[in-house]
Structure 1
Amino acid sequence: MSASESPEKTTQAPEVAAYWAERRRYLESIRKSPEVRQRYWREVAVYMARRLLWSFGFFPVFLAFWVPLVLASFNPVVLASDLIPLLQEFVGSNPEVQATMLSTLAIAWASVGFLFLIFDFVLTPFRSPYEYEADVYMKAWEQLNQEQLPAKV
């Protein structure tokens, strides 16, 4: 034993290794379970749908209404009086100008959506049902093994 190693670390090392070996063994065994595999793919689909809906549905729409409302000092009358001439100008313009305006809005919507999607993936990572099942199993395994281990001095 080196001077930097404490007796606590050397006694914990086999326990930690046994914990991770048991966790790996359990994960391998539940990966074969069709129920957990089906739940995994369902949760992946729900996770992706939720991230896409938040990023491309809520945030760009929210910003499209919030920013003009802030610029109008939270006064909807001022907001409407500012937007009505812009909408009339859009309707009265030629088709090329309308197409350019719509493509610009689509690019802005997509860029805001992708920006929020990237941050959403970083801030809310996917939690696998395999990991959840392993966490539950390992808590029970720890309790069972703690009862079997002799009391430490």
Structure 2
Amino acid sequence: MTENTRKPHHIDAPEVAAWWDERRRYLENLRKVPELRKRYWKEMAIYSLRRLLWSYGFFPVVIAFWLPFVLSSFNPVVMASDLIQLLQGFVGANPEQQATAVSNLVVGWLSIGSFFLVFDLVLTPFRSPYQYEADVYMKSWEQLNPKPSEQPPNSPA
């Protein structure tokens, strides 16, 4: 495409700058509110705890129990007999082999949990209460300050 055949991409920079300036100013004022700061840290702690429990609790447990259950053709008797043999072998092993088995189990648990933690943090990012409050405020601000192109033709602008 040549310079003349490109479609003009029109952005009203002053309107966008005013919107972002108002949002930044409002966020600065919000950060001074103690109740909102307390709510932010509470929600951050709940979010972090939920992500950690989900990633290191749920997924490794599901993989550790669901996969063997599937491999035993959903037959709990087969699964239990295989597990009993593994546990007897573990108890009968020397301490070095037991330590290696426990170490491998812990490394496997942490690697599965870490993989799902990164995956979970990407899919469900933290939603700050500051951002939520700013979004609500900016929607009302947009209604009170419409763009000149969106104003009715008979309104005094």
Q: Same fold (TM over 0.5)?
A: yes
Name the CA distance, whole Å, in 1 between partners of 2:152 and 2:16. 17
Structure 1 range deviating more: 140-149 or 34-43: 140-149
**Correspondence list, 1:70-85, <5 A:** 70-85=70-85
**1:5: Cα distance to partner?**
7.7
Structure 1 range deviating more: 95-104 or 60-69: 95-104
Q: Which amino acid in 1 is paired with 2:46?
A: V
Cα deviations by residue, 1:83-110 (Å, 9 ceiling, x for unpaired): 2111111112222221111111011101
Which residue is equivalent to 1:64? 64
What is the TM-score normalised by the length of structure 1?
Answer: 0.87
Structure 1 range deviating more: 13-22 or 32-41: 13-22
Q: Which amino acid in 2 is paired with 1:87?
A: L
Task: Answer yes or no: is 1:49 the counterpart of 2:49.
Answer: yes
**Correspondence list, 1:1-153, <5 A:** 9=10, 12-146=12-146, 150-152=151-153
Structure 1 range deviating more: 12-21 or 112-121: 12-21
**1:147: Cα distance to partner?**
9.9
Change in 2 beyond 3 A, CA 1:127/1:152: farther
Name the CA distance, whole Å, in 1 between partners of 2:14 and 2:92. 77
Change in 2 beyond 3 A, CA 1:77/1:152: farther
Q: Which amino acid in 1 is paired with 2:10?
A: K
Change in 2 beyond 3 A, CA 1:147/1:13: closer
Name the CA distance, whole Å, in 1 between partners of 2:80 and 2:114. 29
**1:128: Cα distance to partner?**
0.9
Name the CA distance, whole Å, in 2 between partners of 1:152 and 1:66. 65
**1:74: Cα distance to partner?**
1.3
Equivalent position SS for 1:146: coil
Question: Structure 1: which 5+ residue stretches go unaligned?
Answer: none
Q: Which runs of 4+ in 1 moved over 4 A?
A: 3-6
**1:152: Cα distance to partner?**
4.9
Q: Count residues with an aligned counterpart.
A: 150
Equivalent position SS for 1:9: coil
Question: Structure 2: which 5+ residue stretches go unaligned?
Answer: none
Q: Alignment identity in percent?
A: 64
